[in-house]
Amino acid sequence: MSDHLSLMQNHVPKHEFFIAIDSDGCAFDTMEIKHKECFIPNIIKYWDLQAVSKYARAAAEFVNLYSKWRGINRFPALIMVFDLLKEWDKVIERHVNIPEAPNLRAWCKAETKLGNPALKAYCETHNEPDMHQSLHWSKAVNESVADIVKGVPPFPCVRESLQKASQAADILVCSATPGEALMREWQEHSIDQYAFAIAGQEVGSKAEHIAISASRKYSTDKMLMIGDALSDLKAAKTNKALFFPINPGDEEDSWKLFYEEALDRFIAGEYAGEYEAALIKRFETYLPEVPPWKKH
């Protein structure tokens, strides 16, 4: 991924517009299969949560798929799962030991490149069980993803949108997914050709990806982030960029709207203001903060 970091740092605009696009759950319908078949089984296995597996599954699905935290990095998400389990009455009744992961918590606050390379480097100089366990778990997740997630195409209208957008804008893939998986998925479907760089978790946060690639190279009103999570919205606003939401569960309609209307508005300078605000307001209704088991 160092190659992509240099591509971002040395990027010279070819167009006056810049578009950053998230990958999992945004360009590709991979969020459900990755979390339900790859992340969650390994959380249960590596963190000894077999005795509360159905609760661990519900907590992990809420954090990673069905809440305002959708799309956050895997390590802070894992900590959130532990915290939800520790305060869930049905889990407490079972007297199961839920991991505290104190060193992982501290590392997540201090480190910005929350990926396996940084975690591996930390583990090489620290003998902290929760950190080594985190690395084993994260590696297992990546192996499961490589083994299971194949042949999942982009959402309808993604390819057409990339073709159309690339005529007027420079495109960056901007994701919290490991770079190796990103490259594999974008190359598998021959859409990597539309992006000047493919940025994963190893080269920083989404906000950093945009800043490295676009800061002071584009007018902020000509910068757009496309994403399916509040972390994508935050990355856009941190860089004073505009945001187009892909609504979870309504991805096809979102991409159709982008292809047929929103992209043209963006290029014409008619996107910012009421139009963007209405899209974001609707988007936020898809991402609750309170899990369903707390509403009873």
Rounded to two decimals, what is the model's pTM? 0.83
117: its two tokens: 């390379």
Backbone angles phi, psi at 204, to 5 degrees: 115, -175
Q: What is the pLDDT of residue 119?
A: 97
- CA pair distance 267, 263, nearest whole angstrom: 6
Strands (E), the chain: 17-21, 169-174, 195-199, 223-227, 242-245
- CA pair distance 203, 226, nearest whole angstrom: 19
Q: What is the pLDDT of residue 1?
A: 47
Q: How far apart are the first and last CA of the chain?
A: 46
Query: For residue 21, which of 146, 147, 195, 252 has the smallest C-alpha distance?
Result: 195
The amino acid sitting at 106 is A
Q: Where are the alpha helices (DSSP H) in 47-126?
A: 53-64, 74-86, 89-92, 102-110, 116-125
Q: Where are the alpha helices (DSSP H) in 112-174?
A: 116-125, 129-148, 158-165
Neighbours of 145 (CB within 10 A): 24
What pairs with residue 17 in β-bridges?
169
Q: What is the pLDDT of residue 2?
A: 60
Q: What is the pLDDT of residue 296?
A: 56
Longest dimension (CA), the chain: 60
Q: What is the pLDDT of residue 72?
A: 86
Q: What is the pLDDT of residue 27?
A: 97
Q: Which domains does the chain have, with CATH numbers?
A: 2-30+155-284 (3.40.50.1000), 31-148 (no CATH)
Average pLDDT, 10 consecutive residues per value, the chain (296 residues): 81 97 94 96 98 98 94 94 97 96 97 92 97 98 94 96 98 92 93 96 91 96 96 96 96 98 98 98 93 83
